[in-house]
Structure 1
Amino acid sequence: MASFWHISIIVLVLLYRESYAIPVAPQQSQLDVNHRKPLQTFRPYNIAHRGSNGEIPEETTAAYLRAIEEGADFIESDILATKDGHLICFHDVTLDATTDIANRTEFANRKRTYEVERQNVTGWFVVDFTLGELKSLRVKQRYSFRDQQYNGKYQIITFDEYILIALYADRVVGIYPELKNPIFINEHVKWSDGKKFEDKFVETLLKYGYKGEYKSKEWLKQPLFIQSFAPSSLIYMSNMTNSPKILLVDDTTVRTQDTNQSYYEITSDGYLAFIRKYVVGIGPWKDTIVPAINNYLGPPTDLVARAHALNLQVHPYTFRNEYMFLHFDFHQDPYLEYEYWLSEIGVDGLFTDFTGTLHRFQECTTPYPKNDKNAEALLQKITYMLKDSGY
């Protein structure tokens, strides 16, 4: 039977779908961590990559509800902008891979070719559609080897809807939105007030009360990490919000979309020392930390150790259960992969497509204390006391 929380979220989404009005955030009294199970902070974070998208099509209401049900600490999303300036949750700048756009004959003439991160890309682009048009599409599973039964059942959701899923959860759930392709979005989407994509992104977070430095009292009430592959955007947003930010890191041979630096340079000691003034951590591709050789693990780099020496968090991506994503060293067992990354590499959080798998592993290896609510509340009180004392 669906919980009251699930029903509340469904009603909110249905109402929003009909009106496209901005949904109403819960009252601050409803967000009191004393009345909801707080965010766990004693073990690495379980970050639901695009929701529980190993089971349900990515970045949909259902995928996020499932991830929360399965134990996610944070629900992660990619934020893009529509032709009419609305912010939505969608990974690709094109609609081709995860919607039914190819079957929608009324949009056949919208196919375009644009330059995206120095490459020509052809498809149906998010920036050429209004929110109303995008809401008429239906989302499908990205990978053919995953469950296809949910194809065509869910809409694209907005940034506002995504935030409300977390705020209305029956425990404290963090959000982990990515400012996606800011160079491309700022080139193709113009707001009447002259503001940038970064401005609209941060304004939305502030509107819903997200603020505070990492592990501050405000942050623990509404946990948030802002992520991006574009360092200049993170620096720009640091002047607008003190919420913690994560610099995403691609393969070392790839270059940043904004500053045209290689990620080899981005992961150098000098650059990490510079960027730590603006971010609390990095989110590297797994192979940037531990390169693979013929699908076997190679020797780990010292990236995690160097980041930790600068007090930077490390949240690698992406962990998936299927055999084609697991190195041979793990014998097709995702638990062995989690054990390796958490125990031997020592990361601080993991982006996973299978929230439930990671949660079950952590409950077996580092379970909540028996009286977890009181223990977590005590830890938070100690944190506040230390901060108030200047530590």
Structure 2
Amino acid sequence: MSPLVIGHRGAPTHLAENTLASFRLAFRLGADAVETDLVMSRDGVLVLSHDPELSRTTDVPFRPEFAERRTRKVIDGRLVEGWFVDDFTLAELHTLRTSPAGDRLATFDELLLLVAQESARFGRRFGLHVELKHPSYFASVGLPMAGKVIGTLRDHGVDEPGHGLWLQSFDESFVRTLSPMTRLPLVQLLDVGRPFTCHRVAAYADAIGPARRMVLEGDRRSTGLVAQAHRAGLQVFAWTMRGGVEQARAFFAAGVDGIFSDDPSVAVEARQILAPIG
């Protein structure tokens, strides 16, 4: 089976990340699936945003009516200052505009509908990789994510395997919590320096999502991690490819089951010319 090309937050090389337009473009560029990030509004709605703090991706710093919402919070041990998604209702979030495109923030419901519509339009089932961001933080402010996500997937009829849908997080305890709650495949995201063993992860997840430096040394030579994961029965989805075709070919040569790419067209081109790299 060919490795998957997964549009990382859509196609952010071309359009603003985590917007519906960016996800549509990723599918047009040939992505097999897209990856999104979920956070939660004050009224408990799942919203598409990589950051719980909104100033990087929206115009909230320039909105005087929300000036008093600027604050500081500790999120996963890090002090962050700005405007936070859980201090806004969905209606308030919808008045903000993303940078630079000027779209409004989208909800998880809207993305699930879009994936279904685009699958019907193209005549193929598109997949979706869902990263739950900072679940421990959101639980601490009364916004538990696990039940909400699974309930939303159930409402859309995609809460069982076979829909190309994966749930993922860096938070190991959260992934372990999800494991008995759903039959959907789970991905343990990993970053450099985090201790783990593939066999330990295989006890509660179906795949690992390692940073690209964990898969390739210098973007060329395999570290052997993919082979270790496969021996443990885990799939491997590497993040995030921002280079050219040669970098993508190196990922594929290393044996990954999929790569997250900011420009899916580059990864698609590389996959089409799969060949040993000298």
TM-score range, shorter chain: over 0.9
Match of 2:227 in 1: 305
Percent identity over paired residues:
32
Equivalent of 2:155, from 180, 203, 207? 207
After TM superposition, give the deviation of residue 365 of structure 1 in Å. Answer: 3.5
Match of 1:59 in 2: 18
Equivalent of 1:198, from 139, 146, 150? 146
Per-residue displacement from partner, 1:256-311 (whole Å, max 9, x unpaired)?
xxxxxxx12x2x2xxx22321321110001112334xxxx4586433222111112
Give the counterpart letter for 1:337 in structure 2: Q
- The answer to whether the aligner puts 1:320 opposite 2:229 as a matched pair is no
Determine the C-alpha separation between the residues in 2 that align with 1:61 and 1:133: 19
- The answer to whether the aligner puts 1:77 opposite 2:26 as a matched pair is no
Match of 1:339 in 2: 249
Equivalent of 2:88, from 129, 133, 153? 129
Match of 1:324 in 2: none
Match of 1:375 in 2: none
Equivalent of 2:175, from 234, 259, 263? 234
Per-residue displacement from partner, 1:106-144 (whole Å, max 9, x unpaired)?
10110111111211111111111110111111111xxxx
Match of 1:176 in 2: 129
After TM superposition, give the deviation of residue 236 of structure 1 in Å. Answer: 1.4
Determine the C-alpha separation between the residues in 2 that align with 1:276 and 1:181: 22
Q: How does 1:1-391 map to 2 (within 5 A)?
A: 42-140=1-99, 151-169=100-118, 170=121, 171-190=124-143, 196-213=144-161, 219=162, 222-252=163-193, 263-264=194-195, 266=196, 268=197, 272-291=198-217, 296-297=218-219, 300-321=222-243, 334-343=244-253, 345-365=254-274
Please identify runs of 4+ aligned residues in structure 1 that moved more than 3 A: 296-300
Cα distance, 1:133–1:68 mapped onto 2, change above 3 Å: same
After TM superposition, give the deviation of residue 198 of structure 1 in Å. Answer: 0.9
Give the counterpart letter for 1:241 in structure 2: T
Cα distance, 1:297–1:349 mapped onto 2, change above 3 Å: closer
Task: Kindly indicate whether the alpha-carbon contact (under 8 Å) linking 1:82 and 1:189 is maintained by their aligned counterparts in 2.
Answer: no
After TM superposition, give the deviation of residue 172 of structure 1 in Å. Answer: 1.1
Cα distance, 1:298–1:59 mapped onto 2, change above 3 Å: closer
Task: Kindly indicate whether the alpha-carbon contact (under 8 Å) linking 2:160 and 2:183 is maintained by their aligned counterparts in 1.
Answer: yes
**Structure 2 SS opposite 1:339:** helix
**Structure 1 SS opposite 2:181:** coil
Q: What do you get for the CA RMSD once the two structures are aligned?
A: 1.6
Give the counterpart letter for 1:208 in structure 2: H
Per-residue displacement from partner, 1:208-252 (whole Å, max 9, x unpaired)?
112444xxxxx0xx2101111112211211222111111000121
Task: Kindly indicate whether the alpha-carbon contact (under 8 Å) linking 1:83 and 1:189 is maintained by their aligned counterparts in 2.
Answer: no
Give the counterpart letter for 1:187 in structure 2: S
Determine the C-alpha separation between the residues in 2 that align with 1:130 and 1:352: 31
TM-score, reference length from structure 1: 0.67
Determine the C-alpha separation between the residues in 2 that align with 1:310 and 1:187: 34
Determine the C-alpha separation between the residues in 2 that align with 1:298 and 1:53: 24
Cα distance, 1:71–1:152 mapped onto 2, change above 3 Å: closer
Determine the C-alpha separation between the residues in 1 that align with 2:219 and 2:203: 32
Cα distance, 1:197–1:297 mapped onto 2, change above 3 Å: closer
Give the counterpart letter for 1:250 in structure 2: D
After TM superposition, give the deviation of residue 163 of structure 1 in Å. Answer: 0.7
TM-score, reference length from structure 2: 0.93
Give the counterpart letter for 2:130 in structure 1: P
Deviates more, 1:273-282 or 1:126-135: 273-282
Higher strand share: 2
Task: Kindly indicate whether the alpha-carbon contact (under 8 Å) linking 2:36 and 2:48 is maintained by their aligned counterparts in 1.
Answer: yes
Give the counterpart letter for 1:133 in structure 2: E
Structure 2 unmatched ranges of 5 or more:
none
**Structure 1 SS opposite 2:28:** helix
**Structure 1 SS opposite 2:239:** coil
Determine the C-alpha separation between the residues in 1 that align with 2:131 and 2:160: 18
Cα distance, 1:298–1:174 mapped onto 2, change above 3 Å: closer
Task: Kindly indicate whether the alpha-carbon contact (under 8 Å) linking 1:177 and 1:225 is maintained by their aligned counterparts in 2.
Answer: yes
After TM superposition, give the deviation of residue 186 of structure 1 in Å. Answer: 0.9
